Each structure stands twice: as structure tokens, then as C-alpha cells.
Amino acid sequence: MLCALFLAGLLALTPPLIAQWEIETSNSTASLRGVASVGGGIAWASGSGGTVLRTENGGSAWQTCAQPTGAAKLDFRGIQAWDENTAIIMSAGPGELSRLYKTTDGCRSWTLLLTNQEKDGFWDAVQFTDRQHGTLVGDPVDGHFVLLTTADGGTTWTPLHAEPTDAVSGQSIFAASNSSLLLRYPSSRAFCTGGPAGAMVIEQSIGPQAGEAGPGKTGFGNAASREELVNFSKSESSGCFSLAENRDNRGTIVAVGGDYAHPEERENTAWTTAIREDAENKAHPLFRFSPAKTKPGGYRSAVAYDPQRKAWIAVGPGGTDISTDDGQTWRALTPDRQDAADADKQWNALSLPFAVGPHGRIGKLHVDLLARP
């Protein structure tokens, strides 16, 4: 009896174990590919069937938003949000199925901002550096990757044309997680590609007049770089899917991807600028990638950086990986005993601490545990 009382007392003094993952109830069956966490417990998610979700309490409850008019068949693969009321969503699809909508009233109503008028066009990602300045990137039309910019919060969009946007035959952009586009600062943007011609990261730095909305305000690149990720396999289903940056370390960029048709293959899944040997070489002023020394466990569709914990997280259908050395080496971030056995899997997109995936899957990663070995 005394022994039982002692054990009960000991258990009462033991702090509760914290699960590494929290799988949340979304009340949705959509394939989710867009997610935007804005802090303060506010986050948005988007996906197939015209679906948009929102939480204001850190994911404890997710609200199903009003659907934009005529959007029942749209696939919202990109979302950018600023607070509990304001967000822009991007649908991806051929021609007019690519659209932009905006809400300023907490997703009770939506305004159509832009519809793709190019029948051969396909939008892939949209990102903003602040509430006013944003960029949209899409697959090639007439031999050029599509780049549109806004300086008025998305009301008007201006095309950019410059040599580095010339399309390579057999290349396209993957609209898998809204993270194939990286805005490094207002005048510089990078995006990554894949396909039968291989994978490439293209960065464009533009002149001071570019990005200003209005008639005739088309900007031209004054610095450009094409970096071929030479070891990536070349097929319709392979390439670079996501970019992220550690701005605390001289702008280190990490790229992840692989082959979604063969998600277990890990050889061509991660690259980083952190281990380049010519960092001071002025002949390469923008960046130069090298393959990671230890790769993630397979195809990864999204990567993000947590500056507070100096950790990178990469997610995909087959698992989750972490790097604490700017993408040089990766290890699996496996579920704890308190987690579901598949808590690390079936993810499409990432905006820390949230990840989203198929069948309305939403997870919250307890980032306080990221640095734990």
C-alpha cells in the first residue's frame, strides 16, 4: 500500500510529456496545399474545392470560410495572410482556373483581384514582402516564365520581363506548397523549377522602377543568376519544389524537392548555399548551390526556417526532417511516444508551426522541441 502511494505521488510530481505533433480537427476533406501562419495564434489554410480555413486560437478550432463566388472547382494552392481579417488566395490551374482573391473581413466575403487570361498559363505561387508588395510566378507562356508584381496590395499587377525568366524547354514550376517562390527582399525574387530539362533556381534583382504598379511600369533585371541543380534527376515528376532562407547567416538558401512519383528516393532532395566554396567570389554575386551532405529521407515538398531555434524543417508525404547546420545534414524528425505513428507524414506545405496535407490534414509542430536530439 505504501509503495503504491509512493508511486502515485511520484507520478503526480512528474511533468506531463509533451507530444511533438498535434494533429488538429479541420472538419474538411480538401487537399490542403496552402498555409500561412501570421502569429498570435492566427493561421490560414487553403486547398481544393474552393476551400479556405482559418484559426484564431492556435489551431484549437478551424473555421470554414465563405467560398468565393464561382470558386467551387478551384484549387487554392497559395495563400498569403497578414492578420485575422486580411488574406490573399491563389488558385492554380490552366488558364482562367488560375485566379487571385482577397478578403479584408475575416473571409466572410472575397474580392476577385485577377484572372489568368493566358489559356496556356498556370500560376504556381504568390508571396508578399509586406502588405503592399508582392510577386506571382507561373509556368512559361511564349517562352518566358510568368512574373507579375504588385505595389498596391494586389489591386493591380505588372508583368516583369528579363533574360533570366527565359524558359528552358521542358522546365516548369511545381505548385505543390506555394514555396517555390522566395522573395529575398523587395527588389529580388528567386524561384525554382523542375521537369525533363532538370532543376534550376533563378534569381532576378530588378531596377528601382520595377514593381511599381501602373501603366507602362515594367521593370527589367539589372542582375540575374541561373543556378542549375545538376544532380537532380530529370523527369516530369522531379525537381526543386521549395526554397527558404536564413537571413541571419549571410542569406543562406536551402532548396528541397525530389521525385514525387518515387517519394522514397533521397539522393536528389536537398541543396544549400551554406557550403559553397566561392562565397566571396564576386563572379557569382547572387548564390551558388551545393548538394546537402546528408539528405532528407525522400521527396520533400516544403522547407521552412525557424530563426529562434536556428533549425530548418522539411516536410513531404513520406516524412519530416530537421537540419541545424543550414541544410548541410538532415535527420528524421520522428514521432514521440505521445504522437500518432504517422504524425510526421502526409504533409504538403509548411508555415511554422503548422503543416497541411491531403484529406484536410492539419498538424501543429511544437517547435520548442525542434532542437532536441
- Determine the pLDDT at residue 302: 98
- Per-residue pLDDT tens for 77-120? 999 999 999 999 999 999 999 999 999 999 999 999 999 999 99
Query: Which of the residue ranges 11-20, 72-81, 92-101 would you say has the lowest mean pLDDT?
Result: 11-20
* CB 194 within 8 Å of CB 174: yes
**Strands 76-81 vs 87-91: parallel, antiparallel or unpaired:** antiparallel
**165 pLDDT band (50/70/90 cuts)?**
low
Q: Is the pLDDT of residue 280 over 80?
A: no
60 against 13, higher pLDDT: 60
Record the cell numbers describing residue 168, joined without a space: 528552358
Question: 73 lies in a domain?
Answer: no
* CB 29 within 8 Å of CB 43: no
Question: 338 lies in a domain?
Answer: no
* CB 50 within 8 Å of CB 66: no
Residues of the chain above pLDDT 70, percent: 82
Among residues 47, 60, 107, 57, which one has the least CA distance to residue 81?
A: 107
Q: Determine the Cα–Cα distance for residues 126 and 92; give it in Å rounded to an integer.
A: 10
Q: Determine the Cα–Cα distance for residues 149 and 132; give it in Å rounded to an integer.
A: 10
Question: 200 lies in a domain?
Answer: yes
**5 pLDDT band (50/70/90 cuts)?**
very low
Domain count, the chain: 1
- Per-residue pLDDT tens for 286-313? 578 999 999 999 999 999 999 988 999 9
Q: Determine the Cα–Cα distance for residues 210 and 218; give it in Å rounded to an integer.
A: 6
Q: Is the pLDDT of residue 239 over 80?
A: yes
Q: Determine the Cα–Cα distance for residues 159 and 149; give it in Å rounded to an integer.
A: 6
Q: Helix H segments across the chain?
A: 2-13
- Determine the pLDDT at residue 102: 98
Mean local confidence (pLDDT), 335-353: 94
> E strand or H helix at 37, and its extent?
strand 32-39
What values do phi and psi take at 316, rounded to 5? -165, 180
210 against 25, higher pLDDT: 25
Q: Determine the Cα–Cα distance for residues 114 and 324; give it in Å rounded to an integer.
A: 40
Among residues 330, 321, 188, which one has the least CA distance to residue 245?
A: 188
Q: Determine the Cα–Cα distance for residues 52 and 326; give it in Å rounded to an integer.
A: 33
- Determine the pLDDT at residue 3: 46
Question: 198 lies in a domain?
Answer: yes
- Determine the pLDDT at residue 198: 87
Q: Determine the Cα–Cα distance for residues 293 and 214; give it in Å rounded to an integer.
A: 46
Q: What is the DSSP string of 119-176?
A: TT-BEEEEEESSSS-EEEEEEEETTEEEEEEESSTTSS-EE---GGGBPPTT-B---S
239 against 188, higher pLDDT: 239
> E strand or H helix at 244, and its extent?
strand 238-246
- Determine the pLDDT at residue 359: 98
Record the cell numbers describing residue 117, joined without a space: 487570361
Question: Domain limits at 199?
Answer: 136-333
Q: Is the pLDDT of residue 247 over 90?
A: no
Cell 520595377: give the residue: 210
Question: 350 lies in a domain?
Answer: no
Cell 465563405: give the residue: 66
State the pTM of this model. Answer: 0.88
**274 pLDDT band (50/70/90 cuts)?**
confident
Question: 47 lies in a domain?
Answer: no
Question: 170 lies in a domain?
Answer: yes
- Determine the pLDDT at residue 229: 83
Neighbour-count burial of 157, counting CB atoms closer than 10 A to its CB (0-12 exposed, 13-18 middle, 19+ buried): middle
Identify each DSSP E strand in 56-143 by its residue range. 63-64, 76-81, 87-91, 99-103, 111-115, 123-128, 134-141
Question: 243 lies in a domain?
Answer: yes
Mean local confidence (pLDDT), 124-133: 96
Mean local confidence (pLDDT), 128-147: 92
Q: Determine the Cα–Cα distance for residues 356 and 26; give it in Å rounded to an integer.
A: 10
* CB 78 within 8 Å of CB 90: yes
Q: Is the pLDDT of residue 162 over 90?
A: no
Mean local confidence (pLDDT), 155-183: 84
Q: Determine the Cα–Cα distance for residues 96 and 114; give it in Å rounded to an integer.
A: 9
- Per-residue pLDDT tens for 179-229? 999 998 767 889 999 999 889 998 877 654 434 433 333 333 445 577 788
